[in-house]
Structure 1
Amino acid sequence: MRRSVVEQNEKVAALPAYSRLTWERAGWISRLWWVPIVALAMAVRFYQLTAAAIWGDEGSSLLLSEYAVGDLWFHAAHDVHPPLYFLILRGWIELFGDSIGSIRSMSAIPGVVAVGLGIWLTRQLSTRRAAVLAGVLLALLPTAVRYSQEVRMYSLLAVWLLGATLALVYWVRNPERTRYLAMYVVLMSAGFYTHYFTALCVLVHWAYLGVLWRTQPRGQRLLARPAWWLSNSVIVLLYLPWLPNLLDLVQHVEQLKVGGDIGWEDPVGLLSLPSMIWQFVLQDEGVGFWAPLFWAFPMLLAGIVGVTVWRDREHYRPASLLALFLLVPLLLVYGVSFVSPVFIERYLTVYALGLPILVALAIDRLPSRLAWLGAALFVLFVGVELVGLKNNFTVDEHDQFNVPVEFVNRNYQEDDRIVLSDMMWYLSYVYYDQTDAQLQLYTPPKPDGTPTRPNAYGFGTLVDQDGGRIYLDRLSALPAETRRVWLISSNEAPDDFAPLPEGWRELSRQDGGGARARLFVLCNVASAQPEGCR
């Protein structure tokens, strides 16, 4: 009996210790609440990662990454983007190869990291519940998913700019800890070496400190702190090696317009702004929608943003920061586009990440009696995003650009010629080409004799140094001994190559991804008639 009592006392004494251990374990698990959200972001971004074929912009990334570092710096300087992404892509390919899964993973992984940073930023600005809501909405945001699946710099840019914004938030709360500004300098400098639209983020951050100016006592205003000005000066100093290249590019804007690298976007109008919102969340411009619906959803989101900012009474104005992050780039680029159209979704997709975070903040701040409204808004936004993801993932693998290219690869014969009608086809064709042919770009002069050959700026910098071998102004200028020619062009009328020289007979064709590959046999050659002419 005495032994039984002792055992019972030992068990009772052990209960508190067991309870503490269980609580600590539960606490450790609860700190990983963000893991399922990041897993969702990863699943969405790696789903069908290789389904769509490489397109022209991606092809240009790959061609740039093939250059040695010194040459890459030069050609990036003549392109419309800074060099950092292409340098990283070059190293990535050396490590992991250039399969489509590998090269697109270099965008998918930063896309997932950006979601994690968005969750982290939201948690610093608001509650855990808001961070969970924001994480789900960010993970599913169609524009972010789309540009996390392309061999371009947009998801990497999101990492730099969200990271810099997070560093700024930490510094605002702890102005004496200059290590946050040091991290800010590194991240913003990386952003500037990745995309020129990083300048818009600078405006956002300065505007945010301007908003805080009124709430801070004289002598403690962050915007006037020497450390802030010094940090921005260091960013400028770090950018000086690239600045001459940017100025040179500005001086050659007209050459970029001639090459079609800028100025190709349609002029903006009244519908452009709501259309951009639809593109962010639905991957559809919405111009064919019922008019009340077309306006209703963007106006609803505008109302949510407006009310959230109006009710923003917290000391550090988190809603104001997020609204500036979304609206300043969007409205500024929209305004500039009335003069020079640059209102392009992919250039702004990093700033679109502010929208789902703002929606999450709005839902989280609703009083408990309006919880049903918050649930409805969340379900509505997620529903629209899911439709947008469906639009993203609707890919016919049998109707992609690689289909006609692979058709040429299978049927290619030695000494065949391959001629492409457009630079964008050329850039993506190079990736899939498995022949030994010298690819040529068709550059017929305009009716007034004006040449259409690319110049040394924009995409032209990737081929101009070999222009003597690549450019073909007339099909009749092909070598006299040519027997078979592959023509790669759009599959829509009019024919990019019309009129064809006399004596050309089509043997076969293959369409895919808006392109058409046609095999012609030249029946007017002086030597023995090729097969297919008799």
Structure 2
Amino acid sequence: MRVGDSVVRGKASLVVFAAALVITMAGSWVPSFWYDEAATLQLARLPLPEFFGFVMQRDAVHGLYAFVMHGWIQVFGESEFSVRFPSALAVAVGATGVFHLGRRWFGVAPGILAVVVFVALPRITTQGIEARSYAMGTALLVVAAVLVAWARERRGWAPWVAVGAAATASVWMFAYGLFVLPALALLADDPTLAWRTRVVRVSAALVVPGLLAAPLVLAMIPQRGQVAWLSEQDVNLYTVLIEPMFGSAFWMAIGLALLVAVAVRAGWRVTLSSPVVSLLVWLLLPGTVLVTLSLAGMPVFTPRYLTVSAPALALLVGSLLGGARRRSLVAATVLICVLAVPHVIASRLPTAKPGGIDLRAAASFIASHARPGDAILLEAGGPAGTRPRVAIAAYPDAFAGLRDIAFASSYVGTGTYSDSLVDPKFTEVPGDADIWVVTRDGSAFAQQLAANGYAPASVRDVGGLTVGEWRRDDAR
């Protein structure tokens, strides 16, 4: 490779990285934190001794990610922008890797188109601003694939050590990356080499990372109760074929399907080369395993877990459409971007996260209206994404100086992400203090408050939640 070519490719990769980062981060600070992100913060805030104890007891699957975030928030704080930035950074890394692989395997134009598809996929635009491990795990898988392509051109065992390290890190970052390892092994294998060399390569991509992931898997087995809610997840054609990559943006799935149909109709074909076969395994195997296990009575599937397959879909689409004429390629790129716009906008609204409520708005309202010594009472029941009490975990500073009259003990002691609660302790509320009540529809606690001499002084809808200021009748 000439030096000039290397410089050009380096600049192109830098442009891809920067563009993907800026596009993904745009508006990332607008949506309120939700249940899953609050759980990330609850774990990441813990002192390390308590952190490791909690991980071993409850949440090993997110342990490495939470450990990274523990250090991150110590330095950069807990704003929405800060906490979500690592995921956006991971998308940028993943996009750069997708570009590198697409250019190497299929050509420059397919590589560019693959990046556009990857960044525009609703699943990626969502996970890029989600304080969870999915984007990081996916990026590490792409890095591992890039390292495989690089190691195949080098001599010695050192490059394969790097492959094994990246693949292992990807699984520890998100456990279901384990099901992508066979695809990496296919990429690493070369039938023209001696069998010993082939064994070393496949071991670096599959066997060694699998063995090193064994402690994580063993820790997860007794913790499977934390995903018991997956038994309530629908497993149907939409949730299996559309939602993993496109969420609710079904129109984008239709648009991509039409583009592929046009490409096939025009005679564009993809040769079943080693990279293409590996990408098909990457795309299909994780979903096949998770869906099969769920249908067999072991619920482990939810659409966002298949974020790990997004790079494979993007590269396959790029390889199929990349052979088109420049005008057709530009038109396809524009169409993909246009189709992505509605979801990008919708995913950057204050109530965009699952549950459709704005915990930040409710917390900020109380912080600006409550007086020191006032009490709080937040509903803890209902679906995870709609529980008002999650606001305390997501925005603890907003409730500083207020009495949490239902609190009994911290979530650290319960071994869950929920505090231990008791019936509201109204006797602990001074006579001149108000109780700020946050519920989903205003009905929770109403009878108890009335029975203890409280009446609503004001009731407002804030961020999709009902925020009421309750005051003693004799203090009105």
The residue identity in structure 1 corresponding to 2:278 is: L
Q: How many Å separate the matches in 2 of 1:240 and 1:334?
A: 22
Q: How many Å separate the matches in 1 of 2:69 and 2:438?
A: 28
Shift of 1:393: 3.0
In the other structure, the counterpart of 2:221 is 247
Greater shift, 151-160 or 497-506, is seen at: 497-506
The residue identity in structure 2 corresponding to 1:145 is: T
**Native 8 Å contact 1:45 1:108 kept in 2:** yes
- Distance 1:63-1:395 versus aligned 2 partners, 3 A rule: closer
Shift of 1:180: 2.6
Greater shift, 426-435 or 45-54, is seen at: 426-435
Q: How many Å separate the matches in 1 of 2:253 and 2:95?
A: 28
Tell me the TM-score normalized by structure 1. 0.74
Shift of 1:506: 0.9
In the other structure, the counterpart of 1:142 is 122
- Distance 1:220-1:386 versus aligned 2 partners, 3 A rule: farther
Q: Secondary structure at the match of 1:516?
A: strand
The residue identity in structure 2 corresponding to 1:383 is: V
Q: Secondary structure at the match of 1:51?
A: coil
- Report % sequence identity: 18
Deviations 1:24-49 (A, max 9, x none): 88984575233333332122122112
Q: Is 1:64 the counterpart of 2:43 in the alignment?
A: yes
Deviations 1:477-532 (A, max 9, x none): 543655432222213x8x34454442331112333333222121244xxxxx3x22
The residue identity in structure 2 corresponding to 1:402 is: R
In the other structure, the counterpart of 1:418 is 376
Q: Is 1:517 the counterpart of 2:476 in the alignment?
A: no
In the other structure, the counterpart of 2:394 is 431
- Distance 1:135-1:440 versus aligned 2 partners, 3 A rule: farther
Q: How many Å separate the matches in 2 of 1:341 and 1:242?
A: 18
Shift of 1:62: 0.9
In the other structure, the counterpart of 1:387 is 342
Q: Secondary structure at the match of 2:137?
A: helix
Shift of 1:375: 4.7
**Native 8 Å contact 2:270 2:319 kept in 1:** no
Q: Is 1:312 the counterpart of 2:234 in the alignment?
A: no
Q: How many Å separate the matches in 2 of 1:70 and 1:302?
A: 52
Q: Secondary structure at the match of 2:271?
A: coil
Tell me the TM-score normalized by structure 2. 0.82
In the other structure, the counterpart of 1:290 is none
Deviations 1:192-227 (A, max 9, x none): 222221222124334666xx67xx2584486x5145
**Native 8 Å contact 1:333 1:343 kept in 2:** yes
Q: Is 1:401 the counterpart of 2:359 in the alignment?
A: yes
The residue identity in structure 2 corresponding to 1:272 is: T
Shift of 1:163: 0.9
Shift of 1:456: 7.9
Q: Is 1:378 the counterpart of 2:337 in the alignment?
A: no
- Distance 1:139-1:180 versus aligned 2 partners, 3 A rule: same
- Structure 1 unmatched ranges of 5 or more: 1-22, 287-292, 444-452, 524-528
Q: Secondary structure at the match of 2:129?
A: coil
- Counterpart of 1:104 (choices 84, 87, 91) is 84
**Native 8 Å contact 1:111 1:148 kept in 2:** yes
**Native 8 Å contact 1:488 1:516 kept in 2:** yes
Q: How does 1:40-439 map to 2 (within 5 A)?
A: 40-77=19-56, 78-79=58-59, 81-171=61-151, 173-174=152-153, 176-206=155-185, 216-217=191-192, 219-220=194-195, 225-226=199-200, 228-229=202-203, 232-236=206-210, 238-239=212-213, 241-250=215-224, 253=225, 257=228, 262-263=229-230, 265-276=232-243, 280-281=245-246, 283-284=247-248, 286=250, 296-297=254-255, 299-300=257-258, 311-314=270-273, 317-338=274-295, 339-366=297-324, 374-395=329-350, 400-422=358-380, 424-432=387-395, 433-439=398-404
- Counterpart of 1:488 (choices 438, 449, 463) is 438
Q: Secondary structure at the match of 2:234?
A: coil
- Distance 1:460-1:507 versus aligned 2 partners, 3 A rule: farther
Q: How many Å separate the matches in 1 of 2:107 and 2:24?
A: 26
**Native 8 Å contact 2:91 2:119 kept in 1:** no
In the other structure, the counterpart of 1:3 is none
**Native 8 Å contact 2:134 2:308 kept in 1:** yes
Q: How many Å separate the matches in 1 of 2:415 and 2:406?
A: 11
| Count of matched residue pairs | 458
- Distance 1:481-1:170 versus aligned 2 partners, 3 A rule: closer
The residue identity in structure 1 corresponding to 2:109 is: R
- Distance 1:418-1:147 versus aligned 2 partners, 3 A rule: same
- Distance 1:83-1:31 versus aligned 2 partners, 3 A rule: closer
Greater fraction helix: 2
- Distance 1:194-1:385 versus aligned 2 partners, 3 A rule: same
The residue identity in structure 2 corresponding to 1:322 is: L
Q: How many Å separate the matches in 2 of 1:71 and 1:143?
A: 33
The residue identity in structure 1 corresponding to 2:346 is: N
The residue identity in structure 2 corresponding to 1:332 is: V
Deviations 1:164-186 (A, max 9, x none): 12222334x34743223211221
Q: Secondary structure at the match of 2:376?
A: strand
Greater shift, 95-104 or 395-404, is seen at: 395-404
- Structure 2 unmatched ranges of 5 or more: none
**Native 8 Å contact 2:437 2:468 kept in 1:** yes
- Distance 1:176-1:274 versus aligned 2 partners, 3 A rule: same
In the other structure, the counterpart of 1:507 is 457
Q: RMSD over aligned Cα, in angstroms? A: 3.8
Q: Secondary structure at the match of 2:62?
A: coil
Q: How many Å separate the matches in 2 of 1:162 and 1:298?
A: 22
- Distance 1:26-1:220 versus aligned 2 partners, 3 A rule: closer
